[in-house]
Amino acid sequence: MSVSRGWKPTVRIVLSNKFEKMAKVLIPDAAGSDAPGDAVVIELKQPWLAGILAWAIPGLGHIYQGRTGKGLLFFICILGTFIYGLYLGGGKVVYAAVPWEQQFRWQYFCQLGVGLPATPMLVQRQRMLRDEPLLWNGFMAPPRNGPVDWKDDSGHMSKQPNELAKWTVELHPFFEIGTVYTVIAGLLNVLVICDAVAGPLIIKPQTKKENEAAKSTKPDGSS
Amino acid sequence: MFAVFNLIPFNAVLPPLAAVSLWYAVPLIVSVSLVCAATRHEELGPILNHAVRFGAWIVVFMAVVMAVLWLMGKLV
């Protein structure tokens, strides 16, 4: 039996049959003990499938692996953050820019980390590229280029250079806050995907005793 | 544990927080600290423990950055 040592957990892939892959991760228990009897054993069912599921819907990969508590935590936290950011930004902060219409939007790559909930932006982008009518009342559609009229709270009319400028002025500061929320939700899901594929990242500093033992052990394994 | 909230001078702290929309950071801090902690542990106890420490670390870091920016604003 392998036991985690130092900064990273030991991952052992066990091929039980031709079709099923099962990875086992042994991590220290709550008290920090990684002795074989104390260590927590996590069975990572089909790690790569779980990783894809974790990307598609945050937390689904963990639920598939039977790690339901963590799966629900990820589902609520990440989707909650994404949806709240979308709400703050009036549903306009998640979009994939069309190259010749708007400036490059790097946030889109981070937002895509949330998986399927962010994919409508790709559909809308494709439809705009093909000059087809937008779906879902323009939800997650890229902003159109060209001047647009905008009326502020005092009723004063002004002309904005494009739809993105209008959204930024109209929703300020929520356009920025919503963008930050959705970007962070996507980035957090990258951590979750790694957790579904390889198990938790244990940060357990080596003790003085372990350091001395490591120093006295030669590279070929003999002491 | 919750006695610590009595030490916070809410009357002095709340208006500046509202003025700079910092309340919007609270759900984000909770979410980030919980998710990050959960990717480092498997059991609920260590996850919550790590999340509380990580959340506190983020708040202190933000406070330090705010203090530095405020000081720079005063000096310049």
With a cut of 60, say whether residue A106 has pLDDT above it.
yes
Q: Is residue A4 part of a domain?
A: no
Most confident of A12-21, A55-64, A158-167: A55-64
With a cut of 70, say whether residue A163 has pLDDT above it.
yes
Question: How much of chain A is in helix, strand and coil states, percent to nearest 5?
Answer: 45, 15, 40
- Strand A40-45 with A21-27, pairing: antiparallel
Measured distance CA(A209)–CA(A17) in Å, rounded: 40
Record: contact A78-B31, CB cut-off 8 A: yes
Ranking A24-28, A111-115, B43-47 by mean pLDDT, the lowest is A24-28
Residue A41 three-state SS: strand
Given A67, A177, A188, which is nearest B32 (Cβ)? A188
Return the sign of the alpha-carbon dihedral for residues A186, B45, A25, A3: positive
pLDDT digits over B6-41, tens only?
655 656 655 555 556 788 999 999 999 999 999 998
Tell me what pLDDT residue A19 has: 43
Angle value at C-alpha A164, between A159 and A167, nearest 5 degrees: 80
Q: What's the N-to-C CA distance of chain B in angstroms? A: 40
Smallest CA–CA distance, residue A202 to chain B, in Å, is 5
The total number of structural domains that make up chain A:
1
The domain ranges of chain B are: 16-75
Q: Is residue A22 part of a domain?
A: yes
On whether any CB of chain B is under 8 Å from the CB of A120, the answer is no
- Other Cβ atoms within 10 Å of A177 Cβ, number: 20
Say how many CA atoms lie within 13 Å of B56 toward its Cβ: 7
Residue A15 three-state SS: strand
Can you tell me which residue has the tokens 């399927």?
Answer: A116
Can you tell me which residue has the tokens 């598939």?
Answer: A64
Q: Is residue A221 part of a domain?
A: no
ipTM of the complex: 0.76
Q: Is residue A54 part of a domain?
A: yes
Q: Is residue A14 part of a domain?
A: yes
Q: Is residue A71 part of a domain?
A: yes
Q: Is residue A223 part of a domain?
A: no
With a cut of 50, say whether residue A121 has pLDDT above it.
yes
On whether any CB of chain B is under 8 Å from the CB of A70, the answer is yes
Q: Is residue A51 part of a domain?
A: yes
Please check whether residue A36 is in contact with residue A1, taking contact to mean a CB–CB distance below 8 angstroms. yes
Q: Which range of residues forms the domain containing residue A75?
A: 10-216
With b for 16 or more beta-carbon neighbours within 10 A and e for fewer, the A188-221 pattern comes to bbebbbebbbbbbbbebeeeeeeeeeeeeeeeee
With a cut of 50, say whether residue A43 has pLDDT above it.
yes
Please check whether residue A189 is in contact with residue A56, taking contact to mean a CB–CB distance below 8 angstroms. no
Tell me what pLDDT residue A213 has: 72
Record: contact B35-A192, CB cut-off 8 A: yes
Measured distance CA(A105)–CA(A80) in Å, rounded: 23
Distances (CA, A) of A192 to A58, A114, A156: 7, 10, 47
Please check whether residue A28 is in contact with residue A13, taking contact to mean a CB–CB distance below 8 angstroms. no
Q: Which residue has the higher pLDDT, A122 or A24?
A: A122
A188: enclosing H helix or E strand: helix A174-198
